[in-house]
Chain A
Amino acid sequence: MGEIVKMPQLGETVTEGTILRWLVSVGDVVKEDDPILEISTDKVDTEVPSPFAGEVTALLVEEGETVEVGVSLMELGGDGNSTSEKPKEEAEVVKENMSEKIPEVKIETTETSTQFTNNRDQKLSPIVRKLAKENNINLSQVSGTGKDNRITRKDIEKILDSGEVVKPQEKEVKNEISEPINSEEPKKATSGNIPRLRKRIAENMILSKQTSAHVMTSVEVDFENIATLRNKVKSEFKQKEGFSLTFLPFISVATTNALREYPVVNSSFDLENNVHEYHDFINLGIAVDLNREGLLVGTIKDSDSFNLRGLARKITEVSKQLRGKEYGLEDVTGSTFTISNNGSFNSFITSPIINQPNVAILSTESIKKKPVVIESADGSDSIAIRNTGVLSLTWDHRVFDGSTALLFLNSIKDQLENHTWSEDLN
C-alpha cells in the first residue's frame, strides 16, 4: 500500500510553491527524514524531508511546475525498512505533518498583526487584510472567490486593477516588529509534534508497566579482577579491534550463562492467552541510546554462540547500526532478555522497565573504586580499594519470585568475580 507526500505549506499566507528539483527518482528507497525534493518560494529554497520510509513508486509533478499547497507530489511504497509498523498511524501523520487542516484552524498565528482589528472573525490572510486597509476597501462589500467564499488576494487585486480605488504610490514601511516566530508562550504539544520514535517508546513503556508486576532487586559486584585484566589488554584490544573493551561484554557473557542456568528468566509470559513460552535460544537485547534522541533495543541473535571477544564485536556492531539508522526490523525485535547499560551515564542504581514480552531486564550501573573489607584466608580483615558496581534486575513477579531473581543475579555476580576471564579473550 502506498503513502502520499503532499505539498507542504510554508507559511499561513503561502498558497503555492515551485518544484525546484527532485532529489530522488522512482525506485529509490528512502528513509524517514531523507530529503526528497526542493521547493522554491520567494527567496527560499526548501528541502522537504520524507515523512516516512519506503520505496518511491511515483513522482506526480514535474520539476519547474508550480503547484498549490496540499497537492500530491510523490507516492511511496510501504517497503524499504519502514520503521513504522502501523499504516494507520502513518496516515495520521501525513495529515498532521502536511498541515491539511490549516485553512480551518484559527488565524491568530505568526503573521496576524494586531493592527488590523476589523474583520477579525473572517478567515482572511494578512496580505488581504493589509491590501484592503491600505486601499480603503471595505471587505464586507467584496465577494470572495476562494474556498468557502474566502476573499483571496486575487479578489482584492481585481478591484484595484479595475481602478475603483486609488492605489498609493509607495508601499507603507513595515514599522512594527512582527510577532516572534518562536512565540513566548509554551508551545502547544499536539500529537503531530511528538516524533514517531518517541511516541512508540512512550506506548511501549506504558504497555509494559500495565502488563508486568515490576520488582527491582540488585547485587553489588566486585569487578576488580576484570578491571585489572581490562587495563592490561585495553590498548592492545583497541589496536586490534578498533573499539574499546568495556565491562559490558563480560556482563553479557555472564548473563547468557545465567540465562541458560535459569531458563525461566529467558521466557515469555502471556497471561491472557494462558501461554508461558520457554525459549530454546538466547537473544540478548542491548538498549542503545540514540544520542538522546530515543532508545532502541538491538537484538543479538543466539548470544550464547559467541565468546567474549565475539560478543564484544557484536555489541559494538549493533549499537553502531542503530545509531546510524542502518537497521532492519529483525535487528530490533525478537530479544528474549534485555541489558540496559546505564553505567555508561554514571548511574548508581536504576530500575528499568521490562522490554515486553521479556520477563526481566538487567541494568548495569557505573563501576567505581570503593573501599571494601576483604577477608583473607586466615580470617583477618583488611580494607582494600576495589572496582565495584551494582547490577540491578527488574523482573516480573507474575512469572517467578524473589528467590529465582536472586539466584540468577548471584550466578552473574559469581562468574564476574571468580571466573578466569583472561582465557576467554584468546
Chain B
Amino acid sequence: MRKLNIRWLGSLPYSEALILQKGLKESVSKEYNPYDYLLLLEHNNVITIGRTGDPKNILLDSEQLEKKGIEFFETDRGGDVTFHGKGQLIGYPIIRLEDPKKVIPFVRSLETTIIETLKSFNIDSFSKEDDTGVWTSEGKIASIGIKVSKWTTYHGFSLNIFDNLDGFNLINPCGNEDEKIAAVQTFNKEVSFDDVVKKVNEIFPVVYGYQDTDVQMSQFTPTQLKKQKTHEIDEMVDRGVFQKNKNIIPITIKGLLPDEPQRPEWMKVKANLGKDYRDLKNLISEKKLNTVCEEASCPNIYECWSMGTATFMIMGDTCTRACGFCDVNTGKPCDLDDLEPLRVAESVQTMGLTHAVVTSVNRDDLSDGGSNFFAETITEIKRVNPETSVEVLIPDFKGDKSSIDNIIRANPEVLNHNLETVPRLQREIRTAASYGRSLSLLQYAKDSAFLGKTKTGLIVGMGEEFDEVIAVLEDLSQINVDIVTIGQYLRPTAKHRPIHRYVEKEEFSKYKSIGESLGIPHIESGPLVRSSYHAKDSFASV
C-alpha cells in the first residue's frame, strides 16, 4: 500500500501546475516509487480544452480572451472545454494505477469523493451513468478530465465553491450548451474554500483506501478563508484597516526577542580577519561588487573568505521583495551597471575560483526579472574563466518561462532556487513566492535542455516541524533535485522573524540521512549551512 501525499498549494497558474504534475507523474509511475500525490490548488482565470474538445464551445476568440485576462490552453486530458478561476477547487490526483482495469473505477471514485464531500455540507449531488462529473439540482458542480500515462493519472477535477464563476458564461461547459453551473455557495453561503479543502483531505484517502496519508498545507489567502460576509466591518478587517503598525522595532533583552531560545554554543563562529579575508574584502570593494555574504550577514563569511571563496550578488544591493527572514535591503533598486558582469568575471579570475557562485536580488521591477543580465554574467564568467563551473542562485522570476529559459541557455553547471521553508510557512516567510511555483521551476529546469544540476535550500528553526521538513524532502526527491542545503535560521535584526528554535546537530544529520535515502544525491545539512556553503564540494559530489 503506497502513501498518499496531499499538498494544498494555494494559487498556482495552470501552466506551472501542469509542469509539476507531469514531473511528479514520471516519478510516481516508477515501479518502486512509494508515493502517490493529490495536488489541491486554485487557478487564475483560464479556459482549457481537452484533445477531444470542440473549439466552437469557446464563445470568444483569443483576442477577446486576452482582453479579459483569461489564459487559454489546449491540453492533453480527456473531456471538452472547461473554465477554471478563483473560487474553484482544483484537484490533481497523480496516482499509479498499475492495472488498466482500474482506470474507470478511478474516475468513479473521484465522483464519489466529490459527492461525499458535498454531502458533508448537506448538499445533495449525483453522478450520471452516461457522463462524467457531478451534478446537483441547480446544475453541474464539478467537472472531471483525466489523462493516464504509464498507467499513472494526472489532470483531475474542479469543484465550484464560489457562486460568482462568470467565466463559465464564456464557454459551453463540456460541450453542453444548456449546462447550468452550480457551486457550493449556491446552496450554503457559510461554507468557505478552506472548509472544502479540509473535507476533501479527509474523504479522498478514505474513498481510495489509503492508510498512510501526509497532508501539507500552504496558507489560505483571505479570500479563500472568507465566509460570506454580512457586516461591513469584516471587509475592513480583510483590508487591513486594523493592522498593527509594522514600523515599530520590537524590544530585545540581551539580544533576544520574547520567547526566543538562547543561542547555543555550536552556533558561535570565530571572527577571522586574517590577510586572506582582508585581501578579498579589498578586491570586492575595489571592483564595486556586492556579495550575499555581506548583504545577508552570513555567519560563514570568515571561513569562506579566508579560503578565498565568496558568493557574488549582482544587480545591486536592494531587493524588490521583503521576505521575513532575509537581511538584504528592500526598496527601489538601482539601475543596472553594464560593466558588472565583466567585473564579476575578472574577480573570479583574480580569486582563482574553480567554482563561482552568483546570486541576485529580486528585480520584479524589470520586465525580464533581470534574467538577461543574469545570463550575461554567467556567459562572461565562462568566457574569462573557461575552466570554472558556475552556480547560480536565482529568484522565481514570477514563474516566467522565458526568463528561466534565459538562465538555462547560459548553461550554468548548477541551478539553485531556494524553497527556504515548508509549505505551511511559505506565505509568512516568502511574501511573493509560493511552494508550488518553486517546485514547478525546479521541475521545469529538469524538463528543458538544461544539462546541469538542480539545487535548493531550506532554512530551519523558523517554526516548522521535523515531519514537515521530511515531507519537503519527499517532494524534492520526486522532482529529482540533485543537491539540497539545510541550515539554521538566524534572525538578522529585531525587526525580522523571531527564531523559533535551534535545531540540534542530530536532527540535521537525520535530515541528511533520510533525504539521501529518499534518493536525493547530495544533502548538505548542518547548523551553519547556507545555500552556497561548500557549494564546490557539493557540486563535485554529484
> Which residue of chain A has the shortest Cβ distance to B144 in the bound complex?
A43
> Which residue of chain A has the shortest Cβ distance to B133 in the bound complex?
A43
Would A195 and B31 count as touching, CB distance under 8 A? yes
Would A11 and B103 count as touching, CB distance under 8 A? yes
A377 close to B (CB within 8 Å):
no
The answer, among B115, B144, B151, for a CB contact under 8 Å with A173, is B115
For the complex, give the distance between the alpha carbons of A36 and B521 in Å. 32
Q: Which residues of B contact A193 (CB under 8 A)?
A: 98
Measured between C-beta atoms, what is the minimum distance from A104 to chain B in Å? 14
Would A182 and B112 count as touching, CB distance under 8 A? no
Given A10-B100, A47-B148, A174-B127, A293 and B76 contact (CB-CB distance below 8 Å):
no
Would A184 and B209 count as touching, CB distance under 8 A? yes
Q: Which residues of A contact B211 (CB under 8 A)?
A: 184
Measured between C-beta atoms, what is the minimum distance from A24 to chain B in Å? 15
For the complex, give the distance between the alpha carbons of A276 and B78 in Å. 61
Q: Which residues of A contact B335 (CB under 8 A)?
A: none
Would B540 and A180 count as touching, CB distance under 8 A? no
For the complex, give the distance between the alpha carbons of A181 and B99 in Å. 10
A177 close to B (CB within 8 Å):
yes
Given A239-B354, A244-B541, A44 and B78 contact (CB-CB distance below 8 Å):
yes
Would A181 and B97 count as touching, CB distance under 8 A? yes
B532 close to A (CB within 8 Å):
no
A89 close to B (CB within 8 Å):
no
Q: Which residues of B contact A21 (CB under 8 A)?
A: 51
The answer, among A13, A42, A183, for a CB contact under 8 Å with B132, is A42
Would A178 and B132 count as touching, CB distance under 8 A? no
The answer, among A9, A44, A49, A171, for a CB contact under 8 Å with B129, is A171
The answer, among B99, B103, B519, B541, for a CB contact under 8 Å with A41, is B103
Would A293 and B206 count as touching, CB distance under 8 A? no
Would B104 and A13 count as touching, CB distance under 8 A? yes
Measured between C-beta atoms, what is the minimum distance from A16 to chain B in Å? 12
Given A14-B104, A40-B78, A45 and B115 contact (CB-CB distance below 8 Å):
no
Q: Which residues of B contact A35 (CB under 8 A)?
A: 149-150
Would A181 and B102 count as touching, CB distance under 8 A? yes
Measured between C-beta atoms, what is the minimum distance from A416 to chain B in Å? 22
Measured between C-beta atoms, what is the minimum distance from B73 to chain A in Å? 15
Given A110-B105, A171-B128, A174-B127, A182 and B2 contact (CB-CB distance below 8 Å):
yes
The answer, among B109, B125, B133, B150, for a CB contact under 8 Å with A178, is B109
Measured between C-beta atoms, what is the minimum distance from A156 to chain B in Å? 11
Would A293 and B97 count as touching, CB distance under 8 A? no
B277 close to A (CB within 8 Å):
no
Interface bits B122-160 vs A (CB < 8 Å: 1, else 0): 001111110011000000000011111111000000000
Given A11-B105, A293-B31, A182 and B147 contact (CB-CB distance below 8 Å):
no
Measured between C-beta atoms, what is the minimum distance from B53 to chain A in Å? 10
A372 close to B (CB within 8 Å):
no
Measured between C-beta atoms, what is the minimum distance from B319 to chain A in Å? 33
A321 close to B (CB within 8 Å):
no
B253 close to A (CB within 8 Å):
no
Q: Which residues of A contact B95 (CB under 8 A)?
A: 181
A33 close to B (CB within 8 Å):
yes
B50 close to A (CB within 8 Å):
yes
For the complex, give the distance between the alpha carbons of A88 and B145 in Å. 39
The answer, among A11, A173, A177, for a CB contact under 8 Å with B207, is A177
For the complex, give the distance between the alpha carbons of A10 and B101 in Å. 4
Would B100 and A181 count as touching, CB distance under 8 A? no
> Which residue of chain B has the shortest Cβ distance to A179 in the bound complex?
B209
Measured between C-beta atoms, what is the minimum distance from A322 to chain B in Å? 16
B30 close to A (CB within 8 Å):
yes
Given A42-B78, A171-B129, A234 and B540 contact (CB-CB distance below 8 Å):
yes
Given A43-B144, A171-B129, A20 and B52 contact (CB-CB distance below 8 Å):
yes
Would A49 and B151 count as touching, CB distance under 8 A? yes
Count residues of B near A (Cβ-Cβ below 8 Å).
60
For the complex, give the distance between the alpha carbons of A108 and B148 in Å. 24
Measured between C-beta atoms, what is the minimum distance from B386 to chain A in Å? 10
A12 close to B (CB within 8 Å):
yes
Q: In residues 483-504 of chain B, which contact A (Cβ within 8 Å)?
A: none
Would B103 and A10 count as touching, CB distance under 8 A? yes
> Which residue of chain A has the shortest Cβ distance to B104 in the bound complex?
A11
Interface bits A6-39 vs B (CB < 8 Å: 1, else 0): 0011111110000011000000000001010010
For the complex, give the distance between the alpha carbons of A238 and B146 in Å. 44
Would A12 and B51 count as touching, CB distance under 8 A? no
Measured between C-beta atoms, what is the minimum distance from A182 to chain B in Å? 5
B79 close to A (CB within 8 Å):
yes
Would A9 and B111 count as touching, CB distance under 8 A? no
Measured between C-beta atoms, what is the minimum distance from A139 to chain B in Å? 18
Would B107 and A43 count as touching, CB distance under 8 A? yes
Would A180 and B519 count as touching, CB distance under 8 A? no
For the complex, give the distance between the alpha carbons of A38 and B208 in Å. 25
For the complex, give the distance between the alpha carbons of A13 and B130 in Å. 13
Q: In residues 41-60 of chain A, which contact B (Cβ within 8 Å)?
A: 41-49
For the complex, give the distance between the alpha carbons of A111 and B102 in Å. 10
> Which residue of chain A has the shortest Cβ distance to B108 in the bound complex?
A178
For the complex, give the distance between the alpha carbons of A127 and B108 in Å. 12
Would B101 and A9 count as touching, CB distance under 8 A? yes
Q: In residues 142-192 of chain A, which contact B (Cβ within 8 Å)?
A: 170-174, 177-184
B478 close to A (CB within 8 Å):
no
The answer, among A44, A109, A172, for a CB contact under 8 Å with B107, is A44
* Most-contacted residue by chain A among B98, B116, B209 (CB, 10 A): B209
> Which residue of chain A has the shortest Cβ distance to B119 in the bound complex?
A175
B387 close to A (CB within 8 Å):
yes
Measured between C-beta atoms, what is the minimum distance from A378 to chain B in Å? 38
Interface bits B37-48 vs A (CB < 8 Å: 1, else 0): 000000000000
Would B103 and A180 count as touching, CB distance under 8 A? no
User: Would you mind naming 23 contact pairs between A and B with Cβ atoms under 8 Å apart?
Assistant: A11-B104, A12-B105, A14-B104, A20-B52, A35-B149, A35-B150, A41-B104, A43-B79, A43-B145, A47-B150, A109-B101, A173-B124, A174-B126, A177-B206, A177-B207, A182-B209, A182-B210, A184-B209, A239-B389, A244-B540, A244-B541, A291-B30, A293-B31
Q: Ordered nearest first, which 7 A-B pairs have the shortest CB separation?
A: A180-B209, A11-B104, A10-B103, A8-B100, A46-B148, A43-B79, A173-B126
